[in-house]
Structures are given as structure tokens and as C-alpha cells.
Structure 1
């Protein structure tokens, strides 16, 4: 039995992994796939890949591109979720902020530097024509629970996070959503340590075949909307809306999309250079 460690955020996007693990599909193929939740997101997963704590990560596109360029010895082997991520712009319910313009120069809560919440704060600032040097300030809050504390006690002013994940917090009157900032590219990719690819390509192909079979049929699973709503404590109508706008992928992210993402990150001074497609990706098939 080959031991393989994989990580991702504990959100509805990754339910397909839970289902295939629960069904024992990897063990039936001689693979002991062990899932680890990363509630603090992309930055923590990048660190885990570097430290060999995990072999595979289901990770935000922009975050892993940045970290590979910064020296993470990993490669993107596939797009996982093809559609953009709908980042909600959140403030504390009791705050005086009414729209995104009110947040100019205020402090953004981020899970960590290099995380999606950090990088998308730049995208949000660019979308609103802010001065990236003067109008962005950050407070590291680690995870969603940290964001709730930070916004409630005023150590941070706003927080970007996937809007369906935070919808229950909005419904409870803890956050208010005052805007949206969709990522301008497919949101989640599958990244794998290069050493693992070199030594375990057959196992990687098996893992991808299993998960791709499930994601290609995901929306047809009986009562999948109710399963998601119950497991992630979400409103059924919100889940149905999310399912209607979300598409999974079974293909490697294309060169044009990688170049577009790099150009955006470079123009925002988030990455120091634009690198070749082959430096960031590995074609499994």
C-alpha cells in the first residue's frame, strides 16, 4: 500500500475527495491516500508542499503560481475547478463601511502573506483603481475564525473569502458582504511535489483518474445539493446556486491562462518575473 498525503481547504469544492476516500476507491487501487484539512488556506499548503508534509495540494491558482516562482519545487498537473472563485468582500456587521470604496486605505485581514486572501486584495484594489502602495494594509489572521475575531474587534477592517463559504456567517449577522471580486482565472488547481511526480507517476495517474471520474459526474450524484448543505451547514438554495455556476475540470490548465495570470501578478508586483509554462506545469498524460 503506497502512502500519499494530500491537502485542501475544508470547503464544498473538495467534497468529491471526501466521497472517493469514503468509498475506499484509492485503497482498492493500492493507495493509502490521507487527506489533511488546511482551514488557513493556500499559504499553509505551499509551506506544507515545501516541507514535504503533503505530496499533493488542491490549491488556488494564483497562490501556487507565485510560490513555484518563489522556489516551491512543485508543479501544476491539472485544473481542479474551472470556474472563477467568487470572493466576497466582507466587513463586520456593526462597522460603518457601506461599499468597497469605503475600504480604500483600510486594513485587509489575510490568512497569511502569499495566500489567496492576500493576493486577491491586490486584485480588488486594482479593480477599484486604488494606489497599491498607499491604499493596501494587511493584518494576518490565519483562518476564517481569525477573520471573525479580527473584524469583530477592529484589528482588521475587511476580509476577502469565498462568498458561499462565508454566507452562513453573513446570515448570522456577524459579517456583511458589501462587494464581490471574482478571480480572473480558474480558481483551484492540483499541484504536486516534483519529487513525488518523479517517483510515483503511476500512482498519481491512478489518483487523478479516480477523482476525475467523480468530478465529471458530480452534479448528477443523487441529492448532492442536500449532502453539501448538511455537511457544510449551508442554506440549500445557496448550494443550488453554487452548483449552477461551478464547473470542475479534468484537464491541465492551458498556457494562455497561465500567461494571463502571471501578467496580472507581475503587474501587481506580486511576482518578480514571468516564467515559462513548463516551469509551472507538468503534463501527466
Structure 2
């Protein structure tokens, strides 16, 4: 008999339907939080520490798009979790009077959770939008600081000049004066995908159970707003007001199983331009194991 899936996830508001899938619909899985994000889950997948990861679209694509990737890359895209884009807030230290807008960040130091993570990838996308990309030259000095807490510390002690993290996760720290917001950028694609280790394969019956349970978890989330809000503000790092505001912006996927190859191709093309991935890395058709 196969053991329960080990599922990596980011312990933020987006994890609420996953929590409901286990609490209300019997999802037989071990849920493993990764507060440092998608890049850390890629490492864990390749080390055989988790079987499935729920993380940021650009992080998963970046991980499979490297030209020097070892072996088969360790995972493939098997599902879609969130259809809405992600709003990345751009933050600096509360006392950084020299940084008032995104324009002040050219050639500066950016804090990221890990090289290849969503916070890293979106830094290059920001530079692309600002016209700051020069082939062969990084647009910023990238400094890995692992966690959201260390990123906040980093902008205040001037280890780095700025970092990027999801808007509502950042907002509490704008409200309490710990950090300062200087702008935002939206992902030009749907924001969350599900991947599975290549060691378990896309036909594994446990994946079918996961998709079915998550679909029910999403439905429960949509039909029980008050329960969702209470879980977010009592169990996660958000205010009740911010939880309610976030609910107005997020759109979870109707039918988790499978991913859109054209969407993955669009992300890959953007990351190629930003020199996050290489032509010699996997193509979109190779990244997606279960297609929509």
C-alpha cells in the first residue's frame, strides 16, 4: 500500500482550500509548510523530501528551464491552483528616504528568498518592464535571505535595498510601519501551479485523490466565506480586514487537474528574455505532464 503524499505548500492565505481539503474532505496527505517559498520546494522535490508542491508559476518554470539542470529536473507540472495573477508588492526599509518609487531602484540590491524563486524571477520581470535589462548583465545584485522575516530585516538594516513579496502578506507590515511600499507589479499569467515529483508519475492514484479533494476544498472555500476569513486571520499572519479584501481579488481554479501548455510557454518566453532560463532548458511541452 502506498504511503500518503507529502505535499509542500506556502503557509499563506492561498493555502486555505488545501486546509479545507484535509479538514473536511479526507485528503490523506502530510502537509509540509515551506515559508521560504517555491525555490525551497524545488530543492525538496529533487532531494525526495516531498512528492507534490503547490507554488508560484514562474518559480516552477524557472526551475525546469535551466540549461545546466541535472537529471530530469525532479518534477513536472500536473495541475493549476489559482487562475488570478499575483500582485507583488515592492518594499524597502521604513527609513529609506532615498527610495520613494520603483525608479529609484535601478542598479540596486534586491533581497530574494532563493536564487530561482518567485521573488528572484519577478525581480527580473520588474527590470524588464522598466527597460533595465542588458544582455549578460544582471539588472540587480541578488542577495538570498531565505524568509519573509529576513527580507524585512534586510531592507531595514540596508543589507539590501528592496524586495518583492505578495501584497496582502506584506500589507500588515506597511500598516505597522516596519517596511515601506514603493510600488507593485502583477504577474502577466495565472499565479499558482501544482507539480509532482517525477518519481511518482502523473498516473499515481494519490494524485487523482488530491485533485478531487482540492476541487472540493476550493468549492467549500467559495461557499463558506466566513469560515475562510476566520481561518486566515486566526491561523495565518493576516488581519480580518485584509483577509476579506484578498477574497475579492483571488480566483481559484475550477478543476485543478492539468495545466495549460500555452500559458507555461508564455512564462518561459518571458523568462528567456529576462535570462532566467535558457533555450537549452526544457520546453513548455516537456514541463507539463498533465495537459488541459
Give the equivalent residue in structure 1 for 2:179: 175
Residue 218 (structure 2) aligned to one of 206, 209, 215:
215
Contact kept? 1:216, 1:248, Cα under 8 Å: no
Report the 3-state secondary structure (helix = DSSP H, G, I; strand = E; otherwise coil) of the residue aligned with 1:53: coil
Spell out, residue by residue over 1:205-264, the C-alpha distance to the aligned partner (whole angstroms, 9 max, x if none): 011100112113412215122332222242333222211111111242212211111110
The Cα of 1:87 is off from its aligned counterpart by 0.2
- 1:197 alignment partner in structure 2: 201
Unaligned ranges ≥5, structure 2: none
Q: What is the total number of aligned residue pairs between the two structures?
A: 279
5+ residue gaps, structure 1, are none
With a CA cutoff of 8 Å and minimum separation of 6, indicate the structure with the bigger relative contact order.
2
Distance 1:64 1:85, change over 3 A: same
> Which moved further from structure 2: 45-54 or 238-247?
238-247
Alpha-carbon spacing, 1:48–1:233, altered in 2? closer, same or farther (3 Å): closer
Indicate the residue corresponding to 1:280 in structure 2. 287
1:154 to 158, 179, 197: 158
Which SS does the other structure have where 1:49 is aligned? Answer: helix
Cα-to-partner distance string for 1:9-68 (whole Å, 9 max, x where unaligned)? 110001111222234602xxxx3x111111111111000000010000001111111212
**Alpha carbons 1:219, 1:243 under 8 Å: kept:** no
Please state if 1:36 is matched with 2:32.
yes
- Normalising to structure 2: TM-score of the pair? 0.90
User: Match of 1:192, SS?
Assistant: strand
Q: Deviations over 1:54-83 (max 9, x none)?
A: 000001111111212334221111110111
Q: How many angstroms apart in 2 are the aligned matches of 1:205 and 1:284?
A: 14
RMSD value over aligned CA atoms? Answer: 1.8
